Structures are given as structure tokens and as C-alpha cells.
A and B are shown apart, each in its own frame.
Chain A
Amino acid sequence: MGKTWTQLEEIQPTVLKMLKNSRVKNRVAHAYLYEGIRGTGKKEIGLLLAKSLFCKQPGDGFLPCENCSNCKRINSGNHPDIHLIEPDGQSIKKGQIHALQEEFSKTGVESKKKLYMITHADRMTVNAANSLLKFLEEPHAETVAILMTEQAQKILPTILSRCQIINFKPLSSVKMVEKLVENGIKPVVAPLIAQLTNNLDEALEISNDDWFAQAQKLVLKLYEMLKKNSLETLVMLQENWFVHFKEKEQLDRGLDLLLLVFKDLLYIQLGKPEQVVYVNEKPRLEQYAMQTSGRRLADQMEATLEAKRKLQANMNPQLLMEELVLKLQEGSSFV
């Protein structure tokens, strides 16, 4: 954790320019909404803003020194006037927002400045969001709020209207692939990883992960089994799938991978084979693409997306997968 200004400037030049100007002109808004997909550096830039505001000797009026006690403590998460709220399990609960409100009814521990960051702000329960709203409406002086989300459309419009929205542009996947290859990831897996994350560190981690390699194989195997149209798919779920995709995040990733298979098939059908991300499996996929229709692929993608949504709503993973498999087979094998 704790990237420097220059490192982040490479990833998000526009955002940092905005940030710099608001610091230099001393016009920091009372609430920001950082919106952008996973790995675009939202949290790092949030911490950077915190350091910029709290640093004892900021260079040129905005550049955090990374050396004073405030910068150090922000990097290690120990600054008493900076509060980071993360989802407690599935969602951000009302109690967490309450604790925050209590915190902000008091004076700062060390200075008058206070800052709070809420990650995954879209996962606030309705109650929590409404409690937060109350205090976005009446901001205290010198209090800065940073909300972060991957899905801005899921945030209450009343909250949206009270924040300055900052868009975090993801690296285009072509650029990302180039960057991954530069960092020593094999050209055959780079496109796939670039689809899954926009964060270089995370990408490197994934590429070295055995679990991920195995997951890829399993997803392709699942697709093949589906095509055979047999009851064996359900058996395969029990034997291999659930053993491998134990946690919710893992299952979510599995569904992402499955979605990418359908996407690849569609690309091949549309005559854009260069967009395929499962580069290794291209010959096999080309063969499969001839055996299915675009319409059917679209339906299958929809079913997968629906399954992803249900997963977030805490559906039992086993039921979820079985339902998905039946849907993908269009139920025909059971007649």
C-alpha cells in the first residue's frame, strides 16, 4: 500500500490533475465519489488525498512528503482522524455509519481536520445510506468524505447529487495487455488477466496463482460438458467445481471466466478472432463457435450474469450453480 504521487499519476493522470488543482487552489470539496472498476487505484488515490491534506510539509502545496509522522501513519492506517469504512461482511451496516456519525460529533483527535473513506459505497444498506445522507447534507467544516464504488448507478441518487463525482478511467485492455507482457506475464494469458483486473499488482498475483490456472481449465471443462448435454454436468459440479470454487469470491471469479468463454465464442462468430482472450484454446473455441448460435450465446451470457447477481444476493452457491447449469442447457436434456 502507499503508492507515490508519480506512480499514481501514470495510472490516473486526469484524476490527479483535478486533485492537484483543488489542493493548490484550496477548493477541496466536502464529498467525493470515486467511481471506476476494480484496480483503477481508487483507494490509493483516496489515501493520497488524505496524505496531501494532512501532511505537515506538503511539497508545492499538495505533494505529500511521505516522511512526516502524519504521512507514515496514514500509510499504516493508524491516523486517528482518518476513518476507513469497509463492508462488514456483505454490506455496510447502519451501525457502522452510526459509529461514524458519533465520531464526527466530536472534535478531531489531533487537529480540526477529519476525513472519512467508504469503500464499496454501493454495498451500503438502505438504512445506512440514509443515515449517511443526513450528514452529507450538513457537512462539518474541514471534513472530507470520499466514497468509492465500482457501480455508481447503484448509489442513491440523493447521495450522488451531493458528491463531486470523479471518474477513474480503466486502462484500455490493449494497453493493459502490453503492460502485463512488459512485466513478464506470458502473452497467452495476458489478455485473459487484463479482462479480470486493471491493477498490475493483482494481475501479477493472479498469473502466479495455481488456483487460477486450475480454475481456467475447470471452466472450459464445464463448457464442454454442457455441450454434451448430459446429466454428467451436475455430477461434475459436485466432483470438481465446488471443491475448487469454495469461497464466494472464487465462485464469482469462476462465473467471470465462464462469461469470457461465451464472449470469445461470440467474437469468433462475429469475425473478430483477435479479440479472443483464451488464446491457448482458440482452435477448440473456433470449433465450438460453429456449433452454436449467436442467439443462444446471448441467452447463456444473460443466465450467467443473472447468476452473478444472485451470488451477490447471497443465494446458496450449490443451488445457484445447478440452476445455472440447467438454464445453460436450456433444460432440454431432462425431457
Chain B
Amino acid sequence: MKFIIQRDHLLQSVQDVMKAVTSRTTIPILTGIKIVATEEGVTLTGSDSDISIESFIPKEEDGTEIVEIRKPGAIVLQARFFSDIVKKLPTDIVEIEVENHLQTVIRSGKSEFNLNGLDAEEYPHLPQISEENMFSVPTDLLKALIRQTVFAVSTSETRPILTGVNWKVENSELTCIATDSHRLALRKARLASENTGTYNVVIPGKSLTELSKILDDTSDVIDIVITENQVLFKAKHLLFFSRLLEGNYPDTGRLIPNESKTEIVTLTKEFLQAVDRASLLAREGRNNVVKLSTFDGGVIEVSSNTPEIGKVIEEIQSQSIEGEELKISFSAKYMMDALKALEGTEIQVSFTGAMRPFVIRPLHDDSILQLILPVRTY
């Protein structure tokens, strides 16, 4: 293998794939970055076996040559050293050559590095993707989908399946659901393309957080391919693979109540700040619990009482209250997380009694829903 490449392109790609490489891995080869040179360009791959990132540097872009391939081939180089070397090379042109038996020479200007490589055959094989089973989502929508659901995944390992987000595709509609069994976040999105097939997979929350960090806020489309044991997100020159979680995701359809006994409409920001203030004193107490009561004339009272510290009461004027009077307690943290994830200035909260879960939605928007279980207090 031998090629000559622009340093800044190489550096960008190395930094992208480095996000997937961890130093603590049980599989020795995963401490390396795989570099493959073909006639079309250079591909770099990093992986920690949970997620894998592949970055492609095309031979030329917009008419300017980026890579000059002298001889195709593949090698795995120690990620930590390789990334540092690339970062500190003296000139803008880098030459990488694999000499006999995995000895790799990196030349730039007058400096020359000899690095011992590993056999690229040893590197895990990423699934071969067929282009047929694919659907696309704009980057900004994908990031929103992740942001609005991933915070609700469980952090406890007792039920591993709940540490992921359930992605369902049916009738050209994508539904993302995350729950830790105390709260649930659901977000739907219509897919532009028809014939998307049906899928039901669980993607680890950590992978999605990582993905959202890598993606820029653009409106470019991301192609998503779901295979038997991996999911692939495909941006322009970047491929992001993640393993899936094994097992069946609980059926959450029945959890979401259809009717409601009390409906409140209020301003999101005002309500969020009130809950935030009430939680200040609740923070020390059990579970961060605040209490909400409704009164005539559209007044909501948010309060919290911790006998050792003190108590706080705040009244908010809501837009409207319909239905029965209600007193309910819930975790302020869950409520704040949910409110922060919602878009829209006004929200509608639907209660079905003090012991039943309640639903928060933006007004006139069915695509997103947050469900919280109340806390029993005496």
C-alpha cells in the first residue's frame, strides 16, 4: 500500500474515527485504526466493537486532488500513535507506505516515521450493506429525534434492553421510544421515502449520544440501514455503525392513556421555571418530589415541602384547566427533562387521576409525547 494525501483531510478523518476507539478494550486489534486504500480513495475505520466509525476520503473532490493512490492495500496502525503523528506532521503532504511485512513508513517533509502495523485481515468485518433496505432522515431531524428520546433511557443494567431506544418503522413512519420504566419519551417522524419496510430494533442509548455528537447541524440527509445485528447511519463521507440490543422491547402502546380526567394548558417556559424553583428545596429530600395542585380560575400551584429545610409554594396562571380538580406529586427531575425536550411555547398536560401516569405534549403537535409516572405521597 502506498498513497500520498493532504494532511488536513487525513487529520479530519482520523479525528472522526478516533471517537470510536477506546484504549480499554479486550480485543488487541481494536486499539488500531484500519486504513484501506483503493482506487476510489482512502477509508479509515475505528471501532470499540459497540460502535464503529468509517470515514472515507475520496480521491478527488471539486476537481482538486486529495489523495494520490500509488498502490492499493490495507493496514491497521496503533490509533494513539498514529493520530498524534498526523497531528504534528510538519508539512501539508503526507506519504504513507507499507513496506514488507506490515512495516509502515509515514513521511512528511523531512520527517519519517516507521510504525509497526497489524494485519488488516484481523480487523472485525463490518456488515456489508445492501442499498435496498434504506430510509433517509435529514440530519437536524435525526439529532432532534435523538435529543428528545435518549435522555429517558435507563442507566441501570438490571434490564439491559431498557438502556436502548426502540426504533420502529412502519408505514413510512419512524417511532422512537425510550423508557426507564418511570418515564417514557416518544417521538414520531414521517419518512420522506415510501416503501421503507418494517423494522423494530433497539439501539443502545450510548451509541445514539455518540452519533449525535459527531453529526453537524445541517439539513443534509442521513441514510439509515438496519441489518440483522447492526444499524448503519450514512452521512456524506462518514459511516456510523452501531450494534443493537438483543431481546424484545416491552410493548409500550398500552401504557399511554387514551382518555384524560384533567387537562392543563400552560406556557412551557413559565412552568419549567416554576418546577425548577420548587425542586431547589426538594433536591435534598426523597426523590426530588414536587407537588402540583389545581384550583379554580386556572391557577396551578407547584409546591414542595421538606420539613428539615423548609417549603416553597408557587402559583402559575395557566391558559386553561378542564376536568376534575387534582393533586399529584412527581419527580421534578423527570418533569424538567421532559419539558426541556419538548418544542413549542405551550404544552398540554393530560392527567387521569393522581395515581395514574400523565402525558405531556406540545399543543397541536402529535409527533412528540412525554409520559411520567407520579410518585405516591401521603
Residues of A within 8 A of B (CB): 69, 72-73, 76-80, 83-84, 98, 101-102, 104-112, 140
Q: Is the CB of A69 within 8 A of B121?
A: yes
Q: Residue of A at shortest CB range from B122?
A: A78
Which residue from B124, B230, B246 sits with its C-beta under 8 Å from A140? B246
27 A–B pairs (Cβ distance < 8 Å), ordered by A: A69-B122, A72-B121, A73-B122, A76-B28, A76-B122, A77-B27, A78-B28, A78-B122, A79-B27, A80-B30, A101-B157, A102-B160, A105-B157, A105-B161, A106-B204, A106-B243, A107-B228, A107-B229, A107-B246, A109-B124, A109-B229, A110-B124, A110-B125, A110-B229, A111-B229, A112-B229, A140-B246
B49 within 8 A of partner (CB) = yes
Cα(A78)–Cα(B120), bound, Å = 11
- With known contacts A77-B28, A112-B228, A112-B229, A105–B246 Cβ distance under 8 A: yes
Q: Which residues of A contact B63 (CB under 8 A)?
A: none
Cα(A26)–Cα(B326), bound, Å = 62
- With known contacts A72-B121, A80-B124, A101-B160, A106–B27 Cβ distance under 8 A: no
Which residue from B122, B123, B244 sits with its C-beta under 8 Å from A106? B244
Q: Which residues of A contact B29 (CB under 8 A)?
A: 73, 76, 78
A281 to chain B, nearest CB (A): 45
Going nearest first, the 7 A-B pairs with the smallest beta carbon separation are A105-B160, A107-B229, A78-B29, A80-B124, A78-B122, A106-B243, A107-B244
Residues of B within 8 A of A (CB): 26-30, 49-50, 121-125, 127, 157, 160-161, 163, 204, 228-230, 243-247
Q: Residue of B at shortest CB range from A77?
A: B28
Chain A CB within 10 A, most for which of B29, B30, B127: B29
Chain B CB within 10 A, most for which of A76, A98, A112: A76
A73 to chain B, nearest CB (A): 5
A65 to chain B, nearest CB (A): 15
B78 to chain A, nearest CB (A): 14
Q: Which residues of B contact A84 (CB under 8 A)?
A: 26
Q: Which residues of A contact B127 (CB under 8 A)?
A: 110
Which residue from A105, A109, A140 sits with its C-beta under 8 Å from B49? A109
Cα(A18)–Cα(B27), bound, Å = 30
Cα(A136)–Cα(B271), bound, Å = 48
A11 to chain B, nearest CB (A): 27
Which residue from B27, B121, B247 sits with its C-beta under 8 Å from A105? B247
Q: A104-B246, A110-B124 are in contact. List 14 more A-B contacts (CB 8 A).
A: A73-B122, A76-B122, A77-B27, A77-B28, A78-B27, A78-B28, A78-B29, A78-B123, A79-B27, A102-B160, A105-B163, A106-B244, A107-B229, A107-B243
Cα(A140)–Cα(B163), bound, Å = 18
Cα(A111)–Cα(B243), bound, Å = 11
B31 to chain A, nearest CB (A): 11
Q: Is the CB of B243 within 8 A of A109?
A: yes
Q: Which residues of B contact A108 (CB under 8 A)?
A: 229, 243
Q: Which residues of A contact B160 (CB under 8 A)?
A: 101-102, 105
Cα(A108)–Cα(B50), bound, Å = 9
A330 to chain B, nearest CB (A): 49
- With known contacts A69-B121, A102-B160, A110-B125, A80–B247 Cβ distance under 8 A: no
Q: Which residues of B contact A104 (CB under 8 A)?
A: 246
Cα(A77)–Cα(B246), bound, Å = 24
B122 to chain A, nearest CB (A): 4
Q: Is the CB of B27 within 8 A of A80?
A: yes
Q: Which residues of B contact A69 (CB under 8 A)?
A: 121-122, 125
Cα(A97)–Cα(B26), bound, Å = 13
Q: Is the CB of B121 within 8 A of A106?
A: no
B186 to chain A, nearest CB (A): 22
Q: Which residues of A contact B30 (CB under 8 A)?
A: 80
Q: Is the CB of A83 within 8 A of B26?
A: yes
Which residue from A73, A102, A110, A111 sits with its C-beta under 8 Å from B157? A102
Cα(A111)–Cα(B122), bound, Å = 16
Q: Which residues of B contact A76 (CB under 8 A)?
A: 28-29, 122
Cα(A149)–Cα(B100), bound, Å = 42
Q: Is the CB of B26 within 8 A of A107?
A: no
Q: Residue of A at shortest CB range from B29?
A: A78
Q: Residue of B at shortest CB range from A82?
A: B27
Chain B CB within 10 A, most for which of A101, A104, A105: A105
Cα(A208)–Cα(B247), bound, Å = 53
B76 to chain A, nearest CB (A): 10
B216 to chain A, nearest CB (A): 27
A132 to chain B, nearest CB (A): 14
Q: Residue of A at shortest CB range from B243?
A: A106
